[in-house]
Amino acid sequence: MYFQKKRCIAMLLAGGQGSRLKVLTQNTAKPAVPFGGKYRIIDFPLSNCVNSGIDTVGILTQYQPLELNEYIGNGQPWGLNKSHCCAQVLPPYERHDKKSGWYKGTANAIYQNIAFIERYDPEYVVVLSGDHIYKMDYAEMVEFHEKNGAACTIAVRDVPLEEASRFGILNTNPDGSIYEFEEKPKEPKSTNASMGIYVFNWQVLREFLIADEEDPKSANDFGKNIIPNLLSAGHKLMAFTFNGYWKDVGTIDSLWEANMELLGKEPAFNIRGEEKSRIFARNNALPSSYIDEDASTVGCFIAEGSEVYGAVRHSIISTGCTIREGALVEDSVVMPGCVIESGAIVRHAILGENSLISRGCVVGGAFAPQDKKKISVTGKDTVMEPNTVLLPGEMM
Amino acid sequence: MNVTGIIFANDGTVSALTEKRTMASMPFGGRYRQVDFALSNLACAGIHRIGIVTRHNYQSLMNHVGSGEEWGLEMEEGGLEYLTPFSSSHTSDYRGKLESLYAAMTFLEYGPQDELVVMIDSAILSNIDLTKVIASHMESGKDITLVTKKGIADGNKQLDLAVKLDQNGNPIDITVDYAASADYEASMDIFVLSKKWLIQQVKEHIAHNLYHMDRDLVLGLWQKGEATLNIYSFDGLAMYNESVEEYFANSLSLTHKEIRADLFGRNHPVYTKVRDRVPTYYGENCKIENCSVADGCMLGGAARNSVLFRQVTIYPGAEVENCVIMNDTVVHEGCQLRNVILDKDVTVRPGTQLIGTPTRPIIIKRGEVV
């Protein structure tokens, strides 16, 4: 097979469990978690790639890959199913010399797929993670990387000082070059947080991946090993500042918040945006939504294929949901295929895909100021018996 | 059994709405074009070689259907072909279906001859399992299978083709272009025939200057006893969008649950071109009642008993009732619209009042500013 040389390809790390999303990722990999009514988290980095002109994407899967694999399929929704480009799912595999098996860390995952990358003989490899919501033109970052002659460029964003100790912090010189990387520092020296988006010169990365694999003490992780090793070897690393919306949706609270930030007349994250930054998603072939005579729909997103007979306020109703008469949904994220029966009340909740909230159920409640973050969550395919209660902050 | 599908894209017109498009590419139901129903019916029956016969204004159709990827028709063998008109010394524009089939003879003659052909129009919408129609055709051993629908003929509606059946379901009368009475069944313009037989008939008819499918081939041959007719009476929903009035009423009927369930869920999904719009945003003061709403809308005002296509904007203070509003149309503050069909990309300026009647809706043409 003859592969076309590519200037730049992307590797998308989509194998993490996302254990902090609890019941939502019990049987689903985090990148496959639904978001914003008709998307899944992975649609964001994938669409960004396409919108940035990157047409070859390796997707590294490991944890509960069934749904994710099915969702990515042949890459058709993102236009990555053509003869000159691809969205290639790369699961861990067994090798004759036992140098393979489960991905031990982010760097090891790329290491195990050196052969995939080599087929395209790229100058640059963009390494992304599958758990962030944002729109970004990676082409700008690659230009920046090339112009500065760096071995590696890391996207950073300014975070509040009090939050900086939760992130990997990059300390930079006035010219934007990085002199130090600190993982979750107790006393941060700067507020440049790594966004987990890297551009590497492939030849340099390749060398360091192989060396890292030889080191038995290494955690085989980009943040912990590869970046510090590049720095101590004297390579030029640059920080690329990104000012747009970016959200790590790794926790229940942040996932709920990010969904809510889509709402409003001037939303924090305007998902509509321009034509060139459109987010693509696999389509469900469902008809338009239907809003009944007695329904009330205020300050919310309602996706195609949903039928609303009850009241929806300040919520996200995803594709194919039914909200029956007399039901109330408020400040909640209702994932695809849920049914909320008559008289049920859902407030400050995330309902996993295909949850059935039977008549008379009460899920979550109002927030008192002191317990602001008490989101109630149901896992995928949950069936709540009639007239049962799920307290604020509870999960099932 | 290999089956070839043929869709006729230009059948009839719906006044200003089809000025710049085919019947097949008429938008319907918020996110569809009429051809989606015919294409999905064929594709979901496993028919993967489909020709679309077009006459004029077919740009929007080709733009919508493309390579047929959404229907799984993007294939190396078979797949989708556009049978566009071409003139030679003795052909010009088609006068009837038989002439267009004659012009598409290369497409018809391709492949083994022991195949079947399913012909379907785009103005009558249904969600029909064509495998059953094909099975009925094979079992009957007749020359032509025609799909019909009871309850459409009423003595007023002009029908292309209607049949009266005896107790055993055999035709005892056939009418063409006639307002047949209620004891007739209306043709749904879906035919199943053997390819070999069809090719032979098309050639013979053209040779004798006969070009009308319903009048010459079906009625003519049946009257002469030269063709046998099998009737498949469809028990599901069939929407005849053959006039503005019908199109308007059928569009608004999508607010009925049973109608939606039948048209979109009877046998298979209805596929369409994906547009990747965001979910619709319902504003803080909007009042949406009994509406069918596609993705990508921004709704700030009030809408009742209406069908809103993708990316429609209704500003706060605007009121819309019994309207069909197509893609990307914007209705500004203080507008009052009742019984209006707004084509794509229309702008309704602040404070505009447009009031039609259910049988004579006002039609605003594509791209107009009113």
Are B265 and B250 spatial neighbours (Cβ–Cβ below 8 Å)? no
What torsion do the CA atoms of A344, A349, A355, A361 make, to the nearest 10 degrees? -20
For residue B272, being part of any structural domain is answered with no
- From B213, B231, B265, give the residue that closes a domain: B265
Average pLDDT over residues B156-179: 96
Spatial CA neighbour of A289 closest among B310, B71, B38, B44: B310
Q: A165-203: per-residue pLDDT in tens?
A: 888 999 999 999 999 999 889 999 999 999 999 999 999
Its pTM stands at 0.94
Tell me which chain A residues have a C-beta less than 8 angstroms from the C-beta of B308.
288
pLDDT for position B366: 94
Would you call A299 and B282 a contact, using CB atoms and an 8 Å cutoff? yes
In this structure, the answer to whether residues B235 and B327 fall within a common structural domain is no
pLDDT of residue B112: 82
Q: Rounded to a whole number, what is the distance in Å from the CA of B21 to chain A's nearest CA? A: 23
Minimal Cα–Cα distance from A274 to chain B, Å?
11
B369, part of any domain: no
The predicted pLDDT at position B91 comes to 53
DSSP at B213: I
CA distance A244 to A239: 15
**What does the pLDDT read at residue B153?**
97
Q: Which residue has the higher pLDDT, A284 or B190?
A: B190
The pair phi, psi for residue B43, each rounded to 5°, is -65, -40
State whether B237 and B293 are in the same domain: no
Composition of chain A by helix, strand, coil, percent to 5: 25, 30, 50
Nearest to A285 among B257, B269, B281 (CB): B269
Residue of A74, A277, A291, A325 to mutate when probing chain B, most B C-beta within 10 A: A291
On chain A, the residues whose CB falls within 8 A of the CB of B296 are 272
Q: Is any Cβ of chain B less than 8 angstroms from the Cβ of A38?
A: yes
For the cut 70, the answer to whether the pLDDT of residue B341 exceeds it is yes
Contact state of B286 with A297 under an 8 Å Cβ cutoff: yes
**Cβ A350 vs Cβ A333: under 8 Å:** yes
How confident is the model at residue B23, as a pLDDT? Answer: 84
**Torsion sign (Cα): B245, B246, B251, B254:** positive
Q: How confident is the model at residue A149 (pLDDT cuts 50, 70, 90)?
A: very high
Is B161 in the same domain as B302? no
A288 at interface of B, judged by CB pairs closer than 8 A: yes
Q: Is residue B273 part of a domain?
A: no
Residue B254 located in a structural domain: yes
Q: How many CB atoms lie within 10 A of CB B228?
A: 15
Reported as a single tens digit per residue, the pLDDT across A28-50 is: 999 999 999 999 999 999 999 99
Residues B284-294 pLDDT 10s: 999 999 999 99
Measured between CA atoms, the residue of chain B closest to residue A281 is B276
B-chain residue closest to A314, CA distance: B284
Give yes or no: residues B255 and B348 share one domain. no
The runs of H, that is alpha helices, within chain B are 35-43, 59-65, 97-103, 105-109, 130-140, 195-207, 221-223, 244-252, 257-265
Q: What is the DSSP letter of B18?
A: G
Same domain for B334 and B219, yes or no, is no
Residues B236 and B315 in one domain: no
Enumerate the residues of chain B whose CB falls inside 8 A of the CB of residue A294.
Answer: 289
Decide if B282 and A298 are in contact by the 8 Å CB cutoff. yes
Question: Which residue's entry shows tokens 């994220």?
Answer: A333
Chosen for mutation from A133, A261, A289 (greatest number of chain B CBs closer than 10 Å) is A289
According to the model, what pLDDT value does residue B282 have? 98
B160 and B293 part of one domain:
no
**At residue B232, does pLDDT exceed 70?**
yes
Interstrand relation of B280-282 and A300-302 (parallel, antiparallel or unpaired): antiparallel
pLDDT band (50, 70, 90) for residue B80: very high
Three-state DSSP state, B164: strand
Inter-chain CB proximity B269 and A289 less than 8 Å: no
Residue B20: predicted pLDDT: 79
What gap in Å lies between CA A72 and CA A49, rounded to an integer? 14
Q: Indicate if B250 and B296 belong to the same structural domain.
A: no
Q: What's the DSSP call for residue B278?
A: P
Non-local (6+) Cβ contacts of A90 within 8 A are: A58, A59, A60, A61, A113, A116
φ and ψ of B61, to 5 deg: -65, -45
**8 A C-beta contact, residue A37 and residue B279:** yes
* The pLDDT of residue A371: 60
Percent of chain B clearing pLDDT 70 (strictly above): 97
From B36, which residue of chain A is nearest by alpha-carbon distance?
A: A285
B242 and B148 in a common domain: yes
**Nearest residue in chain B measured CA to CA from A305:** B294
Considering only CB atoms, A291 lies closest to which of B281, B293, B296, namely: B293
The pLDDT score that the predictor gives to residue B75 is 77
- Does residue A372 have a pLDDT over 80? no
Q: Which residue of B has its CA nearest to A82?
A: B74
ipTM of the complex: 0.93
Write out chain B residues lying below 8 Å of A286, CB-based.
264, 269
Q: Which of residues 70-89 of A touch B (CB under 8 A)?
A: 76-77
- For the record, the structure tokens of B325 come out as 């509003």
pLDDT tens, position by position, B31-79: 999 999 999 999 999 999 999 998 777 888 899 999 898 898 887 778 8
pLDDT more than 70, % of chain A: 98
Return the residue of A nearest to B252 by Cα: A290
What count of other Cβ atoms lies within 10 Å of the Cβ of residue A83? Answer: 6
In a domain, B271, yes or no: no
Mean pLDDT of chain A: 94
Query: What is d(CA A8, CA A124) in angstroms, rounded to the nearest whole number?
Result: 5
Compute the half-sphere exposure of residue B218: CA atoms within 13 Å on the CB side of its CA: 28
Q: Residue with structure tokens 């899944």?
A: A40
CATH classification at residue B313 = 2.160.10.10
Give the pLDDT of residue B51: 95
Q: Which of A287, A297, A298 sits opposite B264 (nearest CB)?
A: A287
| Mean of per-residue pLDDT scores for chain B | 93
Q: Name the nearest CA neighbour of B239 among B264, B272, B273.
A: B264
Partner residues linked to B144 by β-bridges: B193, B229
pLDDT (mean) for A6-10? 97
Inter-residue contact A43 to A57 (CB < 8 Å): no
Digit-coded pLDDT (tens) for A99-120: 778 999 999 999 999 999 999 9
Distance CA B227, CA B246 (A): 33
Q: Are residues B261 and B296 in the same domain?
A: no
Is B276 a member of any domain? Answer: no
| Closest-CA distance of chain B to residue A270, Å | 10
DSSP-based helix, strand, coil % in chain B, nearest 5: 25, 30, 45
- Cβ contact B271–A286 (<8 Å): no
Range of the domain at B217: 3-265
Q: Determine the residue of chain B that is closest to A288 in CA distance.
A: B294
Chain A to chain B Cβ contacts (< 8 Å): 102
Q: Which of B265, B296, B316 is the last residue of a domain?
A: B265
Split at pLDDT 50, 70, 90, the class of B278 is very high
**B345 domain residue, yes or no:** yes
Looking at the structure, do residues B62 and B171 belong to the same domain, yes or no?
yes
Q: Beta strands B185-194 and B144-149: pairing type?
A: antiparallel
Residue A91 has what pLDDT? Answer: 92
- Evaluate whether A110 touches A220 at the Cβ level (below 8 Å): no
> What CATH number does residue B92 fall under?
3.90.550.10
The residue count of chain A comes to 396
Residue B186 domain-assigned (yes or no): yes
Total domain count, chain B:
2
> Contacts of residue B271 in chain A, CB cutoff 8 Å?
285
Residue given tokens 């890959």 in the structure block: A65
pLDDT at A163: 86
Give the separation between CA B159 and CA B316, rounded to whole angstroms.
Answer: 44
Query: What's the mean pLDDT in A133-159?
Result: 97
Has residue A284 got a pLDDT over 60?
Answer: yes
The three-point CA angle B323-B328-B330 to 5° equals 65
Tell whether B79 and B221 lie within a shared domain.
yes
Touching check for A303 and chain B: CB below 8 Å? yes
Of the residues B265, B293, B325, the one at which a domain ends: B265
* Chain A residue with minimum CA distance to B262: A287
